Amino acid sequence: MLSFLRTLIAMMVGGFAWVLVNNALGQPEGAMVLLTVWIAGLAGGAVCTMYSARQGVAMAAVSGLLLALVFLWFRHIHLALPITGGALVALWPLWFPPAYYLGAYAYVLVLLRSER
């Protein structure tokens, strides 16, 4: 149950960071939308590792995948937005899993270097 709650919190942190950056940039178009995903993913991945340095990377991969699936479901099934334009623009949520993973891995490296 605790891992489930931590995963939900990491997903919410990533979603909140995405909303903040998205609003700060003013609804970016094209490749700039990936910047919002990467910033949100790095923040969410770091939060995963803050909970547990051992399980943080795995939790980040799961959190990123679930967040990507939620975004894709909401956009393309609930809102029925068609996949138009470039695949990069239409499928930008698929970058959440690697962004979360990289954020968790980077935070683990920071922890390891701070112990030296």
Q: Which of 104, 106, 17 is nearest to 63 (CA)?
A: 104
Amino acid residing at 12:
M
Q: What is the DSSP string of 35-55?
A: HHHHHHHHHHHHHHHHH-TTT
Q: What is the DSSP string of 20-39?
A: HHHHHHTS--TTHHHHHHHH
| 1 vs 28: CA distance, rounded Å | 37
Q: Which domain holds residue 111?
A: 2-115
Tell me how many domains the chain contains: 1
Digit-coded pLDDT (tens) for 81-104? 777 666 666 778 888 999 999 999
* pTM score of the predicted model: 0.84
Digit-coded pLDDT (tens) for 13-45? 999 998 999 889 887 777 788 888 899 999 999
- Cβ atoms of 43 and 17 closer than 8 Å: yes
